[in-house]
Structure 1
Amino acid sequence: MNANLDSSPLGTRVRIAHIDWSGLSHDEGRRLREFGLMEGVEVTPLHRGSLFSRDPLALAVGRMRVIIRARQAAAIRVEPAAAA
């Protein structure tokens, strides 16, 4: 599996492989960095906005819970997390 975060299965831990910073505004990039979303970090998609919308996306990042837009998640490439 090597997909974007916006299409990752819910409840499955993944590792951020690459972030397309050029596809994000300066403020969006700063916000993602403040949340700790960087290459190599493991995250778990928890739930999406609603039955009819994939926006926003709630993530577990360590012990934090953060919310990002589906468009931002589409800029984040992920791979399977290492087995614990």
Structure 2
Amino acid sequence: MTSKLDSAPLGTAVRITRIDWDILSHDEGRRLREFGLLEGVEVKPLHRGSLFSREPLALGIGRMQVIIRGRQAAAIEVEPAATA
């Protein structure tokens, strides 16, 4: 069952199944690729913005932490990561 990254539960690893590159600008797409956000990659949502906002979204990707905007997270479909 897939969902959008912007609604994924915090602290739970998910795997990227699809990214809607068409709704992202060229620069946004390049930035996400540079961060390693591609189909098949496992990420962990760590925390969201402030008390009154769901933006930005902090993600753990391997040993790296990155911040993306809610609009970008909404373009990314994820599924629960397989447990080892």
Query: Which TM-score applies when normalising by structure 1?
Result: 0.98
Q: Which runs of 5+ in 1 are unaligned?
A: none
Equivalent residue for 2:16?
16
Q: Offset at 1:32?
A: 0.1
- Aligned residue pairs, count: 84
Q: Distance in 2 between matches of 1:43 and 1:32?
A: 12
Provide the identity percentage.
79
CA RMSD of aligned residues (A): 0.5
2-side partners of 1:71 and 1:52: how far apart?
Answer: 16
Counterpart check, 1:25 vs 2:38: no
Unpaired runs of at least 5, structure 2:
none
Name the counterpart of 1:45: 45
- Secondary structure, in 3 states, of the residue corresponding to 2:53? coil
How big is the shift at 1:9? 0.3
Deviation at 1:12, TM superposition (A): 0.3
In 2, Cα distance between equivalents of 1:50 and 1:13 = 22
The two structures have a TM-score, normalised by structure 2, of 0.98
Q: Secondary structure at the match of 1:71?
A: helix
Question: How much does 1:64 deviate?
Answer: 0.2
2:72 is the counterpart of 1:75: no
